Amino acid sequence: MSNIRAVAKKAGVSVATVSRALQKPDVVSEKTRKKVQDAAKEVGYRPNMMAKVFRSKKTHSILALVPDMSNPFFARVISGIQKAAKARGFNVILGNTLGNKETERDFARLLQTSQTDGIIQLSARYPLETPENDIGSPLPIVNCCECVVDDSMPTVQLDNQEAARALVNYLVELGHKRIGVVAGPPDSPLTAGRMAGYKAALEENGLTFDASLVTEGDYSLEAGEESAATLLSVNDAPTAIFCFNDEMAYGAMRGLKEKGLSVPGEVSVAGFDDLPFSKYMEPALTSVRQPSAEFGTVAVDMLFELMSGSLAGKRHRQLPFELAIRASTGPAKQI
């Protein structure tokens, strides 16, 4: 196996320069860095990462705990995490927990065993038994997107209540008085926040909350389609349906069309997230736009502040939302 001396000889530099170029590339010139990297490649040199971790007690990796990797929204958050981590010379370990608490905990123990330097948790749950290490110091864990309501972790999230309130107010401005909801899982803080915004907008506009207009889904296409059928069966059916994510909105639109109803001519549909596919739907979907990649970037910033000793800014940070108004919403049908 080639060693660092072989790289130094091939590149025509000292062993110390090779070490700096490979471990701290920012402290050498670009020309030297490239010369060393090319030489390492040519002689087949691979740094002993386990030895490096042992010496520094740092893995230069962070763990992202993701409840569902197939979810397009989380895919964009992960992209933001990876770009921000790579810019700092860190790798990202992806833990697809499938929403399972034990799987989450198994992954999170990598932090306790020094196999990763920090965690970004995308579910509203603390992933370990205790928020502190063996000597009583807080563990470097940041909660992103779906956040706990206590103070166990620093958080970065959206004001889900205000976002839902803004969207429902928009539907009311279009003349809709019967607005159906396809909510998320009842134990989710996202569901609680968005439902609170829905109810607040109804109250502000003098509209009565009707529990028969609320269905529950699991954020899937199928849930949206099934919920649309349920809402259509209600006496005095809704003229608009607000889905708590875009995928359920896609399913709802399909369900409405299969019943022979036009969107938005007979029923308006709106979602939440503003996934890339939403503007390509037919009709294009009105949605709440979340800065998904920015969630990842800000979470990494906060995690690195934690790993360096303390948070420089606020412990709980909110990112802005926008309404993406498109063709799936229109004036309420006049009866």
Report CA 109 to chain centroid distance, whole Å.
21
Please give the CATH topology (third level) of the domain spanning 59-158+293-320.
Answer: Rossmann fold (3.40.50)
CATH architecture of 160-291: 3-Layer(aba) Sandwich (3.40)
Q: What pLDDT sits at residue 163?
A: 98
Cα–Cα distance, 80 to 94 (Å, whole number): 13
**Alpha-carbon torsion angle 213, 218, 219, 221, nearest 10:** -90
What contacts 220, CB < 8 A, 6 or more positions away?
Answer: 247, 248, 251
pTM score: 0.80
Residue type, 323: L
List of residues 6+ apart from 257 with CB closer than 8 A: 263
pLDDT band at 55 (very low <50, low <70, confident <90, very high): very low
> DSSP letters along 167-190, please?
HHHHHHHTT---EEEEE--TT-HH
> What number of residues does the chain have?
335
Same fold, 59-158+293-320 and 160-291: yes
| pLDDT at residue 287 in the model | 98
Angle, helices 72-87 vs 292-307, to 10°: value is 40
Summarised one tens digit per residue, pLDDT across range 267-312 is 999 999 999 999 999 999 999 999 999 999 999 999 999 988 777 6
Q: How confident is the model over 226-231, as a mean pLDDT?
A: 98
Residue type, 263: V
Extract the tokens encoding 236: 């005095």
Q: Domains of the chain: which residue ranges?
A: 59-158+293-320, 160-291
| CA distances, 12 to each of 5, 26, 72, 216, 316 (Å) | 10, 19, 48, 67, 50
Looking at residue 49, its pLDDT comes to 47
Largest CA distance in the chain: 85
Phi, psi of 333 (to 5 degrees): -65, 130
Would you place residue 26 in the very low, low, confident or very high pLDDT band (cuts 50, 70, 90)? low
pLDDT-derived band at 2, boundaries 50, 70, 90:
low
Q: For the chain, where are the E strands, in sequence order?
A: 61-66, 91-96, 119-121, 141-144, 155-158, 179-183, 214-216, 240-243, 268-273, 286-289, 316-319, 322-324
- Amino acid (one-letter) located at 296: G
* Amino acid occupying residue 51: A
Average pLDDT over residues 211-226: 97
pLDDT digits (tens, 9 = 90+) for 56-103: 468 899 999 999 999 999 999 999 999 999 999 999 999 999 989 999
Distance between CA atoms of 254 and 256, rounded to whole angstroms?
5
Q: How far apart are CA 170 and CA 323, in angstroms?
A: 9
Q: What is the pLDDT, as a whole number, of residue 260?
A: 96
Count of C-beta atoms within a 10 Å radius of residue 124: 21
What is the rounded distance in angstroms from the CA atom of residue 15 to the CA atom of residue 20?
Answer: 9
Residue 53 confidence (pLDDT) above 50: no
For the CA atoms of 323, 289, 190, 100, the dihedral, rounded to the nearest 10 degrees, stands at: 160
What confidence score (pLDDT) does residue 50 get? 42
* Residue 193: φ, ψ to 5°: -65, -45
- The answer for 82, left when phi > 0, alpha when psi is -120 to 50, beta otherwise, is alpha
